Amino acid sequence: MKEQINVGIIGLGTVGTGALKVLVDNKDEISRKVGCPVEVIKVADLDIVTERPVVFDKSILTTDVSRVLDNPDVDIVIETIGGVKPAKDFILRAMRNGKHVVCANKELIAKEGSDLLGTACENGVDFFFEGAVGGGIPVIRPLKVCLAANKIQEVMGIVNGTTNYILTKMSTEGRDFADVLKEAQAAGYAEADPTADVEGYDAKYKLAILASIAFTSRVNVNEIYSEGITKIAAQDICYARELGYVIKLLAIAKRNGDQIEARVHPTLIPTTHPLASVNDVYNAIYVRGDFVQDVMFYGRGAGSHPTGSAVAGDVVDIARNINHGCNGRIPCTCFDRREIRSMDLVGTRYYMRLLVADQPGVLASIAQAFGDNSVSIASMVQKDMYGDKAEIVMVTHRVVEKNFRKAIETIGHLSTVAKVSNWLRVEE
């Protein structure tokens, strides 16, 4: 048992400040669970002037990152500067100095996880990142331990709070994307440049991490298909509801034979699905395993305090390992080399909204195009009229994407079809 375990933090932004605050405010709670005091002894940030909402001894602040990374007294380094550079180099340096590392940097882990876990292993140190997915929600460790005996078959998550907030608002208030986005930006729920969120890039990083753990095979972020929510219209949400669905931006990974499906896109899910009632900025990760069947983890997927909670939980776990001399007890579990299934071959159901001429034979020609591509229609509803055009909404049975795309392209070129207004994937 050590006399004291010392923590250094690099990066005092939103998450770093949250982590510092938990470690300071709940020091007693943490220390007795670990068995010895756990103390933040050094915090590095370029800005050591701005006041942060945490009461702590300012003398531990430094602008010099080496006073954390190369400090012989520091046992655990918390990396909360974000981005890939220079975060990766800092982490590698800390590990080579024998320090354990906690990180909530999804982009870095998604892109460089292999290197980082490898270096951790070589140096016999822990590298934990519970906060990288789902903010405060416990999901990485439950997957790695509690569900370890399962063959995971599917992970589906609402892992981006900004887009979930926007879709919830669109859904409850019947408003359009652009309109709600503006409001979300004003309220601080969306960034001035919202691209990473609304185009699904943020969700892609998180899915790469979840899928790599779930399927014991590294999932490269570049291989994940992604589509954002910018093309969702208020009508789609409204029609989906009539059909018994809600629209969510889902990060989906499935075991499919020896391959893995990995994709991020807006998705219709039945209103009875546990993910359907996850609203506002909340996140949830739904997991299906061969024995556990279905479980879901729900909570606040971002924010200073929730993510700080996850980071501090990792610190507790590492500190217990230090006191029992067993760091590195859960190494990287990417044992396999599974291929990512081409999106062309992914099978799902599809929703589509078409604007067509209101005349005989239109449906026959659409049905022909579907039939030619082995797409079969599960349900169809004729909706509103727009002048002499009718809006129709259809949902297909399960079919591979390649076939659906061929069919919908053909349909888009039919003289009787004015417009393929939108099409979206459907999961059950």
Q: Find the part of the chain contacting its own copies (CB under 8 A) among 40-48, 62-70, 162-170, 300-308.
A: 300-308
Task: Work out whether 142 is an interface residue with its own copies (CB under 8 A).
Answer: yes
In angstroms, the CA 378 to CA 404 distance is: 14
Which residues touch 193 (CB under 8 Å, ≥6 apart)? none
DSSP 3-state percent helix, strand, coil across the chain (nearest 5): 40, 30, 35
Task: Work out whether 293 is an interface residue with its own copies (CB under 8 A).
Answer: yes
CB 361, min distance to its own copies, A: 43
Size of the site for its own copies (CB under 8 A): 60
Here's the x/- map for its own copies, 239-278, by CB under 8 A: it reads as -----------------------------------x--x-
Residue environment code for 337-350, b if the CB has 16+ CB neighbours within 10 A, otherwise e: ebebbebeebebbb
Structure tokens at 247: 């629209």
From 148, 233, 234, 378, residue interacting with its own copies (rule: CB under 8 A): 148
From 217, 226, 321, 403, residue interacting with its own copies (rule: CB under 8 A): 321
Closer to its own copies at the Cβ: 7 or 343?
7
In angstroms, the CA 112 to CA 205 distance is: 11
Among candidate residues 99, 169, 206, 248, the one labeled active-site is: 206
Instruction: Tell me if residue 251 falls in helix, strand or coil.
Output: strand
Task: Work out whether 315 is an interface residue with its own copies (CB under 8 A).
Answer: yes
Specify which residues 159 forms β-bridges with: none
Task: Work out whether 22 is an interface residue with its own copies (CB under 8 A).
Answer: yes
Here's the x/- map for its own copies, 185-224, by CB under 8 A: it reads as -------------------------------x--------
Contact 426, 245 (CB under 8 A): yes
From 14, 323, 342, 422, residue interacting with its own copies (rule: CB under 8 A): 323
In angstroms, the CA 105 to CA 107 distance is: 6
18, burial (CB in 10 Å: exposed 0-12, middle 13-18, buried 19+)? buried
Is position 206 annotated as part of the catalytic site? yes
CB 8, min distance to its own copies, A: 17
Q: How many CA atoms lie within 13 A of 412 on its CB side?
A: 11
Strands 377-386 and 282-289: unpaired
From 93, 204, 305, 338, residue interacting with its own copies (rule: CB under 8 A): 305
Task: Work out whether 84 is an interface residue with its own copies (CB under 8 A).
Answer: no
Residues assigned a catalytic role: 206
Given the rule CB under 8 A, which residues bind its own copies? 18, 21-23, 25-26, 29-30, 32-33, 130, 136-138, 141-142, 145-151, 216, 274, 277, 289-300, 303, 305-306, 308-310, 312-313, 315-317, 320-321, 323-326, 328-330, 333, 335
